[in-house]
Each structure stands twice: as C-alpha cells, then as structure tokens.
Structure 1
C-alpha cells in the first residue's frame, strides 16, 4: 500500500493497523473541534442491517465527504443524524448536545440542517415563497402569536423576506424569485434548496447528492457556492456519487462499507487505499 493510503492510519485513536496495513475498520480519531459526533450508530429494517456500529466525527469548518455505493448506508446515516429515523443504538451529538432520537425540527434548532436528494418543489408556491419555508423558529408558526404579538409576527416575516431576497441575490438566482417553484429545472431547484437551507443559519449542513442529475454548468455553480459558504463558516457533510466532484471539494472523506465506516482520510489517501479501490472506486461507483 502507498504512503498516502497509510496516511489514513493517523486518524485512528490507537494508531494500530489491521491486517491490511490500513486503519482498523470503524476507528476514527478524536478531532480537536468536532461539531458533529456519530458514535456506534445502529439501524436495522426487518432484520436487514443498514447501519452497523458506524462511528465518525466531523470537525468544525470542514467539508466532509461520505462515499460508498448504493446500499452502503449513506442516506440512512443522514436520516439518523437529522432525526428522520430513530437509531436502534448509538448516539448523535451536535455541538456537544446529544440529539439522538430528536425530531428533525429539534435537531435543526441545535444547528444541523439537511437537504434531500430530490428537492421538494412545493406545489403552488413561487421560488420566493418556497424560500420562506427555510427560517426556523418563526413567530408566525404559533397561532397564539397572531393575536397576542401581531407586530412581532409582522416584523419577523419582513425580516425573513429581506433575508430570502438577499440570499437569492447572493446565489445569483434572484431572477427566479417570482417563478413557480414547479417550473424551474432540477439543478436550479437544488440551488434554491441550498439557499433555503442557509436561511435556517445552520452550523452543519448535510447535502444529499447535491449534483445528482445536475448539468455541468450548474454543478460547477453549486460547488462554488458550497466552497464560499464553507469559507464563511458553515460546516458541510455531503453524500455524492460523482467522485470527481466530491474528491475535489471534500477533505476528509469517510468511506462506508455495508453500513460501517471502512476508512477515513484525505482524498489522496482514499484514492490510493486498495480496499476503497476494490470496494468502490474500481467499479466506477
């Protein structure tokens, strides 16, 4: 195995290697400033193990890639982290708070938000109106506030609208604001969903296949936006089958195999790891 592949061993807590010379399966290093910790996460469906004692950490300020073929358990882990599934075992910690088993809106209140592989287009809404679904803790969500604090509700809605307009302009898609959300392309909708997620002011944003089905021009635009947002302080974890996209954007890369963490390392180390080549990259996954 190459020196770059062996670099992944630096991420194990013990520094020990398995029989292949690589890091022990499931072993990850404790990170100095982990904003997200996944510890011994487990999930089965009807006797089929989807997540098998998965453990990894995401350091604040990074773009972390989560790769593996279909069936490796990537989307299941996203659903467990973000509260859409309840784990059978293990814990999820965001900013030092155990969010295991919380509802998605509760996880979002702790700073972790996600997008979906297929964005919801929200029938009957314009792009601007769809954006306004993004902000969290809106006073107008309380029926009582409409009567007891109408001014507060109005001020909040005005502020959210201004933020939505600003972010649409920042993403250079403000020209879509008045278009029906169902009329724009899939790639444009993924830009809108990313912009909408930022209205929630997440510390950690999970992106589920952000460029799946997106043309190269919009994929490049999405990559630019993710980098820009990361430079401004947002931590990203992304699932993506486009290896060129994820290897160019993410560092570190976490590799899943049958619901477990196979290894973790830099893009160069992962590319050179024989196990990764055999299990994932060799088949063009």
Structure 2
C-alpha cells in the first residue's frame, strides 16, 4: 500500500488560514464540521493540511465562520483543487521539504521582495556563484548534494523568466557585491549577470552603499512573497538551523515597513546599475 504524499506548504497554509477563521468565530472543530457533514477529525485534518478541501467547502466554512472578506475567501478558494505534480516534486526525497515549500511559495507569489545584506540573492545568482556558496555552507555537503542544490536554485529562477514573470524588487548591501565568491572570474561574471538582470522591466535592484552607514534592518535578510491578499503574504527567513516561514499578521506588517525603510536608504535602480558597473570594472 502506497503512503499518501506529504502535505505541501500551500495546503498547510490553507488549513492554517481556515483554522484562524474558525478560532476567530469561537467555534470548535466539532461545531465547524456540522456545516460540511463531517466530524472533528476531518476538520482537524483539513486544518493540518493532511486532507484536501474543495473551493465550495472553503466558501461554506468561511460563511459558517462569519467571514465577510470576499477577497480573502476567494483567494483561499483558489488555493484548493487537485494537487498537480510540479517540477520541485522531483527533489522531494533529495532536499529538505522547506526548500520545496519555498519554490511553491515563489511559484504562486504575486510579487517578491528581498533585502539581502551578506550575499547576492539566490534568484539572481549564476550557477558558478551558487556552487561556491553551497560548497561553503554551514553543514558540509557532498559533491552530489551541492549539485542538487545548484540545479534546484537555478530552476527556481524560472519564475523570473516565464510568460507572466513575477515582479521582483531586491535591496542588496555593497558588502555582498565586494565579496569575491569563487575568485575574480566567477565574481566578475556574477556582477555582469546582476547588471543584466537589473535591466529587465520586472526586476528592480537597489544597493545600499557602505557610505550609507547604519541602516534599518542592518545584518538581516528578508525574503517577502506577496499573496493575492495581504493576509496570505509570507516572509521566508534563511537561518543557520534551517528555513522558517512567517505568516502572522503583526510580523508581516513589521517586515513590510522594514523593507520600505531599507529601500528608502538604498540607491535608485539607475544609480545602482552605475554603481555595480564601477565595481565590475575594477574586479
């Protein structure tokens, strides 16, 4: 007997949002189950992402919970449907599950924002640059593991090249541009690639120069994926012990403000291209 596939991060997020609506309505899982002809166990499994749920049932549950935010309800309904196998599933038994969840979040994002202080963001890295990053990861990776992660990172970049590319705004500190990851040749190639990507209409790159001094969010990295409504936004934090996803209303609001403050002290996109060009010319 084959085991059921593990729940995706998207299905878990849907379940989590339905649980929030139920709890705000002051209903137990048993009480909620009555409106869909189920039982407490079914509601618990839906909220944990173990069971799928139809769009109609999402609307029924939301109505039962007294949710009047039509945009949110329809956004949640759009997260349902049959689970289609996506490209990241081929890495299911190779890479940590949170990495697959990250690819899924990016795939469905309405726009992406990143504020990186220590390295070039993954979506804008060359394969050679990414390979060197993984070779020096905190946890030692075998050569095959390094190659799996490089290929996965490059495939993630498809969201920037598809027919409907995801708008991407990123703020990078000058330090990330000065570190010669992989040596002069790899470094120069990475800077040239960054310049090329920054010229695309849907990509905005801004640099915070050393001369800006202290700035909001110094030392932090933020990766913000916007959903169809603000309640479904997600912040991804890349930490030493692993990946973390933040979706609480209060921290999301704080990260939005922090990103805007970081972008405000950075050079404009046009100034940034000139700035990167000067660094590349002397590398």
Normalised TM-score (structure 2) = 0.36
- Structure 1 or 2: more strand by fraction: 1
Normalised TM-score (structure 1) = 0.36
